[in-house]
Amino acid sequence: MTRIKKQDLCEVHIVKTVCNMCTNHCGINAYVQGGKVVNVDGMPEHPLHRLCVKPGAIPEMVHHRDRITDPLKKENGKFKKISWEEAFEFIADKLTHIKNKYGPQSVDIHTGNPFIATQTEKVIRRFADLYGTPNYTSGGGVCFIAKGIGSGLTVGGLIAPYVAEGSKCMVIWGKNPAETFASEIDVINDNLLKGSKLIVIDPRRTSLAKRADLYAQVRPGTDCALALGLLHIIIKEGLYDKDFVEKWTVGFDKLVEQVKDFTPKNVEKITWVPSKTIRDIARMYATVKPACTSLGVSMDHSSNGIQAIRAISTMCAITGNLEVEGGSMLSNPGLMQKNLRLVDKVVKKKAVGDEYPVFSKFSRETHVIPLIDAMVSGNPYPIKGFLCAGCNPAVTWPNQNKFKKGVKNLDLLVVVDIFMTPTAKMAHIVLPGTTALEREDLRDAYHTHENISLFVKTNKAVEPVGNSMTDWKIWAELAKRMGYKKYFPWKSTRELMAELLEPTALSLEQLEENPGGIVYMENACQRYLKNGFNTPSKKVEIYSEELERLGYDPIPTFHEPLESPFSRPDLAEKYPLVFTTGARSRAYTHSEYRNIRKLRRLRPDPLVDIHVETAKSLGIQNADMVTVESPKGRIKIKANVTEDIHPNVVCIQMGWKQANANVLTDDERRDPISGYPEFRAGMCRVYK
């Protein structure tokens, strides 16, 4: 335990650091008194300092009485406290046993959201390499990377999923920044005050949709058809930049052919969006310039997601809205820190996710979804160990009944977390990690939603609670027990950080002098004029030879969701409603924070949105407990009867262990290119 100095009992001091409660990483001032965080507000020096509601709960979270404070080992179904020494010894023995019996590939090592792109992730990857497993996975296997794949294949980089300042026409597609990104809402409001137009495309009529000039209530999973419908109008009415198309695109002629049948009338049948709205959106987007698109992660979670993102990227490019001030900007690459990988140590075995080569190329990791198959079936080889840091797959991964079956086949499940999550409850060993306020991190904001190349060193506000350990050190200590000591030489976090910064122009001292971070690269418009686009042809690849070579549709192509009333009419009688999952709430990130009272008060219950007419026909009233059943399972959940959802669609909130939407989802319905599961579309029935 840290000794508190006497003067600390009354003095309040401010520690400038970063909020890690979601991936936005806003700058915060943490007020510390007597060794405790007592308050948090925005750090004016940081470009993102307009905070949402979550950091108000940081003091409660950091000092929560349910924090895991010691390593825990399960014995006869119950956890008992053990020392770090015992924990490391147990894990090292098991890992060695698995390696000898099944090979190193039989262990998957996984990093969750809190550590992606931090030094902890880099240390974990070095550990995985030394162990020899090709199976390193991260939260990127179910979130965010697909967007980079779709736009990367088309325009050579990630189109920043963020509204640009000064945009005259903002398209918010499958995203609800009013619940997720307070800073983006500020930009939207500023632009609206200056007369910008707002278009919202979402299966739910969100609060932002109610303020929109145009709103499309799209059927879940049909965004690609809608985008092709918009392209149909844009091409037919000549609303595209002919000069750009001629000089900078590949495959426009094939696109003309492709969208021919995507008339507003046909697209209305597919998407349930009225044909007039489709026409109006296409005309507004293509003529009110500059226009930008801000895509949510919902697009990624579809069996046709990559093609939808490719169609929308194409639309940005051919209308002259790409890489222009106020339009859709390409994100900069991240800061090149020292690479800690030791790939030559990895066993020459196929990773379980090798069936998704495009995902592997863009992410440089294996895919989590095929891992579920391997855990259950033992194919292509058994998965016997799963080490997971800051992730809760027992709530966030699809098809929970199958996942639980897979966990039963593991010889070793280790979870590093701050609370006893549903995944931690299943573990053999639980290790107490830290909150962001108890450690220092290097944070590169390039991969977050804001289009800003900002590098920050975060600061420790308080000491880790109990016997919890700074997260990168957990892996370095375990590595020593595995005999890898010489590869983990750092005696302190500062030493590790200094090594990572070696190839950069930044130093720790500079970063510490600038707690709001250092912008290491400015955004620039029309960079393609100098070097072309970052694609094989150096042009916008409406037609991708790379996709063709790999056996995928080379131009944006609509495919019906794999489970819908149209693709599975055989299921329609039993499961007449379409369900979508994954809607975010301002109080939570994924499965986190339901145990934080201050946040739980804001959103106390998991809800399913049901249209008033549908509810009436089913005899359901607002706040009734109902059962939602899909071909994969059933959950009980409270009904939210509303007019803001289509009568044939229900929307189930994600992240609740109390009503786990992922009992209903299916891991095997996937986008063929990204491998992402179809979280956002499926079939169900609802009854009391």
Scanning 20-28, 320-328, 422-430, 508-516 for contacts with ligand SF4 by CB under 6 A, the matching segment is 20-28
Q: Taking CB under 6 A as the rule, does residue 391 contact ligand SF4?
A: no
Scanning 23-31, 233-241, 307-315, 359-367 for contacts with ligand SF4 by CB under 6 A, the matching segment is 23-31
Minimum gap (Å) between residue 459 Cβ and ligand SF4: 16
Minimum gap (Å) between residue 24 Cβ and ligand SF4: 4
Q: Which is nearer to ligand SF4, 53 or 519 (CB)?
A: 53
Q: Taking CB under 6 A as the rule, does residue 175 contact ligand SF4?
A: no
- What the block records as the tokens of 12 is 């309040």
Inter-residue contact 577 to 614 (CB < 8 Å): yes
Encoded one letter per residue, x for contact with ligand SF4 by CB under 6 A and - for no contact, window 591-630 reads ----------------------------------------
Scanning 18-26, 318-326, 498-506, 563-571 for contacts with ligand SF4 by CB under 6 A, the matching segment is 18-26
* Nearest C-alpha neighbor of 676 from the set 353, 333, 217, 312: 353
Minimum gap (Å) between residue 650 Cβ and ligand SF4: 27
Q: Is the peptide bond before 561 cis (omega within 30 degrees of 0)?
A: no
Strand order in the sheet with 36-42: 12-18, 27-33, 36-42
CA atoms within 13 A on the CB side of 286: 25
Q: Which is nearer to ligand SF4, 24 or 113 (CB)?
A: 24
Question: Distances from the Cα of 79 to the Cαs of 73, 82, 409, 420, 618, in angstroms?
Answer: 5, 9, 20, 11, 44
Inter-residue contact 525 to 160 (CB < 8 Å): no
Q: Taking CB under 6 A as the rule, does residue 22 contact ligand SF4?
A: yes
Minimum gap (Å) between residue 456 Cβ and ligand SF4: 12
Q: Which of 16, 25, 204, 310 is in the footprint of ligand SF4 by CB under 6 A?
A: 25
DSSP 8-state class, residue 584: -
Q: Which is nearer to ligand SF4, 19 or 318 (CB)?
A: 19
Q: How far is CA 540 from the centre of its chain?
A: 26
Scanning 24-32, 259-267, 303-311, 344-352 for contacts with ligand SF4 by CB under 6 A, the matching segment is 24-32
Question: What SS3 class is residue 587?
Answer: coil
Q: Amino acid identity of 555?
A: I
Q: Which of 21, 312, 437, 540 is in the footprint of ligand SF4 by CB under 6 A?
A: 21
Cα–Cα distance, 328 to 468 (Å, whole number): 43
Q: Taking CB under 6 A as the rule, does residue 55 contact ligand SF4?
A: yes
Q: Taking CB under 6 A as the rule, does residue 178 contact ligand SF4?
A: no
Q: Which is nearer to ligand SF4, 183 or 337 (CB)?
A: 183
Inter-residue contact 598 to 681 (CB < 8 Å): no
Q: Which of 15, 17, 26, 30 is in the footprint of ligand SF4 by CB under 6 A?
A: 26
Minimum gap (Å) between residue 141 Cβ and ligand SF4: 21
Where in 287-435 does DSSP place strands (E)? 291-295, 385-389, 412-417, 429-432
Cα–Cα distance, 104 to 485 (Å, whole number): 18
Minimum gap (Å) between residue 598 Cβ and ligand SF4: 13
Q: Taking CB under 6 A as the rule, does residue 19 contact ligand SF4?
A: yes
Per DSSP, helices labelled H in 409-450 are 422-426
Scanning 21-29, 68-76, 118-126, 516-524 for contacts with ligand SF4 by CB under 6 A, the matching segment is 21-29
Q: Is the peptide bond before 382 cis (omega within 30 degrees of 0)?
A: no
Scanning 51-59, 111-119, 373-381, 523-531 for contacts with ligand SF4 by CB under 6 A, the matching segment is 51-59
Q: Which of 30, 43, 51, 155 is in the footprint of ligand SF4 by CB under 6 A?
A: 51
Q: Taking CB under 6 A as the rule, does residue 185 contact ligand SF4?
A: no
Cβ neighbours around 621 below 10 Å, total? 12
263 to 292, contacts with ligand SF4 by CB under 6 A? none
Q: How far apart are the first and last CA of the chain?
A: 51
Q: Taking CB under 6 A as the rule, does residue 182 contact ligand SF4?
A: yes
Give the 3-state DSSP-derived string for 540-564, with helices as H, strands as E and coil as C: EECCCHHHHHCCCCCCCCCCCCCCC
Q: Taking CB under 6 A as the rule, does residue 436 contact ligand SF4?
A: no
Scanning 14-22, 167-175, 533-541, 558-566 for contacts with ligand SF4 by CB under 6 A, the matching segment is 14-22
Inter-residue contact 544 to 153 (CB < 8 Å): yes
Q: Which is nearer to ligand SF4, 42 or 157 (CB)?
A: 42
Strand order in the sheet with 107-111: 78-81, 72-75, 429-432, 412-417, 385-389, 107-111, 136-138
Q: Which is nearer to ligand SF4, 41 or 546 (CB)?
A: 41
Scanning 9-17, 46-54, 139-147, 530-538 for contacts with ligand SF4 by CB under 6 A, the matching segment is 46-54
Q: Which is nearer to ligand SF4, 25 or 646 (CB)?
A: 25
Q: Which is nearer to ligand SF4, 383 or 452 (CB)?
A: 452
Percentage helix, strand, coil for the chain under 3-state DSSP, each rounded to 5 = 35, 20, 45
Q: How many residues bind ligand SF4 (CB under 6 A)?
A: 12
Q: Taking CB under 6 A as the rule, does residue 24 contact ligand SF4?
A: yes
Helices (H) and strands (E) in the chain, counts: 25, 25
Q: Which is nearer to ligand SF4, 52 or 208 (CB)?
A: 52
Minimum gap (Å) between residue 585 Cβ and ligand SF4: 12
Inter-residue contact 437 to 37 (CB < 8 Å): yes
Burial 452-484 (b: 16+ CB within 10 A, else e): bbbbbbbbbbbebbeebbbbbbbbbbbbebbeb
Question: Which residues form the interface with ligand SF4 (CB under 6 A)?
Answer: 19, 21-22, 24-26, 51-52, 54-55, 181-182
